[in-house]
Structure 1
Amino acid sequence: MLPPMTHTPITLSDALFTSTSAVTVTGLNVVDTELVYAFWGQLVIAVLIQLGGLGLMTFAVLIWSALGRPLGITQGTYLREDLNQTSYGKLTRLVWTILRIVVMAEVAGAMLLCLSFMPHHGLGPGLWHAIFHSVSAFNNAGFSTFSPGLTGYALDPVVNVVIPVLFIAGGIGYVVIADLYQRAFWRGWSLHTRMMMVGTAILIVGGVAMTAILEWDNPNTLAQYHSITARLTVAWFQGVTTRTAGFNSTDIAGLEDSTSFMYMILMIIGAGPTSTGGGLKVTTVFVMLLATWAFLRRRTEVTGFGRSIPLGDVLKAMALMAMASAVIVTAIFLLLISEGGDFVDIAFEVSSAFGTVGLSRAYTPELSEFGRAVIMVVMFLGRVGPLTLGFFLATRMVPRVRYPAGQVHLG
């Protein structure tokens, strides 16, 4: 809210919403980032995006380690949970690996994006646009320093390759990237990496193909381009960015309702654990599908890729889906009461906030103060995960009584 940060004064609500959207790497905006925020304001947004994407626990351990302080048991426990690790031994090494991955990816992305941005905006502004979009893309934030998003670069080959590579790499998670680099193809991969790679590939192919099919004759999106190559290019970018990143190369408000509904599903699924994205997570949905398949096959053990999945992980996935459903349904209900308007617009907004995606059907600026508060809570829960809140509120109790089994009729 300081004068050097903005071209025009903003309210406390505007600043709080933008800060929440940035630190949760969402990308929803109530004001125009390009027109309202000056360079210093955009720099603050970029720093918040980096902190949110890197993870506050990871950043704290980096500072702790740089100061030469040993990692205590309490800090190690929090970090182990934050990074979904089972041992304490490799935590510090993993954190520094994460930092190296982030720096290399964002520097390389910025250098390549300069090829597209500098010819249009000049040396200084072009460099800043490239840095900002590289940070935003790798952290799956969806923030852009251009008012219309990336619609002006819808057919630019560099943007259509570099931006997706950055947010896909950030969305699969640091652990998966390290696994891919250090271990042999497939046989050496962990079960988590196998699930993430297969699930990500299915979602990318499905999202791009369905975008092309559903939007091919829509004059507001793909049909405004006459060549097949141009339509496929836009379908590629928009289909792959929807699940995590939230950049747009076409008019989101002009999408068909069927496409919007598909995008809601992709946004809710989200990215991978220990990644820069939010949502339910790919592995959560994967585990639930495997559990459903095991039930239909009348098996008592859930298996996948030659490995069994512990019952505790299945219960965790069930709890996560139940709590996520409760958050999304409650938020939609509250916004329908307070805001009114089109149901698809509201459901799309909530799905985007929970998945920390940042796409909007031009509905975010219309939110009231109460509506902004609801979306901020959903963004926060989508980034930290509903289970985190559940673990924080719940108390662990050891059962003292065991009850006899009862029969419940389901389905």
Structure 2
Amino acid sequence: MTTRADLEIDLDPPPAARPGAVAVIEAVEECIQGQVLLLATNDTSYDPDLLAWLRTQGLLSSGGLDAPEGESVMADRYGEHHGRIEDETDEMRRRNDSVNNSTVSAFDTTNQTFQDIMSKVEALQDELAQAPGPVEGEQHMPIDAEYALIRSALTTLDDVIGLVDDAQTGMETHAEEIDRSNPYTGNGGNSGTSGGSSPSNYHSVTAASDAKVLAVGDAPNDIVAFARKELNRGVGEFGEDNLRYLDRRGGKPDYDIGGAWCSAFATDMWKRAGYNVDWTYKDRVQTVWNDANAMGLNRPEGEAPQPGDLIVFKWSDGGDHIGIVDRVEGNTVHTIEGNSSDSLTTRKYSLNDPEVVGYVRPPADEPAPEPSSTVAV
């Protein structure tokens, strides 16, 4: 399980740096932190861009990062305004500190974009650590060395923003299949592998949840019955995420949302069975997971899933996915999943499949257990 501490960014300004340079480096640290959290949560409601802010405040030179080597990328006398930079840093820090463990718990730190960001941060920190000391008889380092450090810090930030933008673009414009390895191997030539699953729509997610249970059904098995009924009719995509039933009756399913639809299918099956949950955003997997955790619906680690549960998979590099547990046989979980290889189909997984984040049980009349701080895998 990923924690907020696993995503921490730490940059140490050189002791001999002037207050203006310290303010810029600390602002870069918080802005990179915000970009990392954006990557981990896909909360696009907060997308910090210190470079854009410096530009609008008139604190970048006319050349900005394109200024000739040896010249300052900052405007003249920017150090006199370090208080404004510190105020902006405080606001970024406040937003960053509001992100808690439950929001990032399923983020995979082997994510290539995250690894690239951390490599850039480490290289920048090495450069800061090797900065020269003060000029003899003075408090601060040579000004040209300080200019170079600020340029490196802002260039690193620009690279990080580019990496996260590229990752976000990939998530928003492609129904990219998840490469999920499945350790289970079945008989009769059916390996049980997923063949890839398309990511859900991406919208902002917050750690706080306003989700609520509107209605509770009588039997979780009814969820499975409705899902099997849809499976028997057959559902496939025609064009880009346009769904059609494949039987004689034809028509469009209720969960045809004009985009990636695994979460829409799963929550619609719950609703048909009487389990109506007003998720913060029902078509987005990460939001459903966050809401379920807030309401105590996530099964504790080690507790076996049951028919009708939602099965939630990791999200990383533009992939997230959710399905319905059909049944559990020994150590194998059988599922019914929408938007799996662009269709409604069945899959099966080992109970200890590392790609499974956890399971969400249907709400019951009795009070839900306290949310767990751990994630079932």
Q: Tell me which interval the TM-score lies in, with the shorter structure as reference length.
A: under 0.3
Q: TM-score, normalised by structure 2?
A: 0.25
User: Which structure has the larger Rg over C-alpha atoms?
Assistant: 2
Whose strand fraction is larger, Structure 1's or Structure 2's? 2
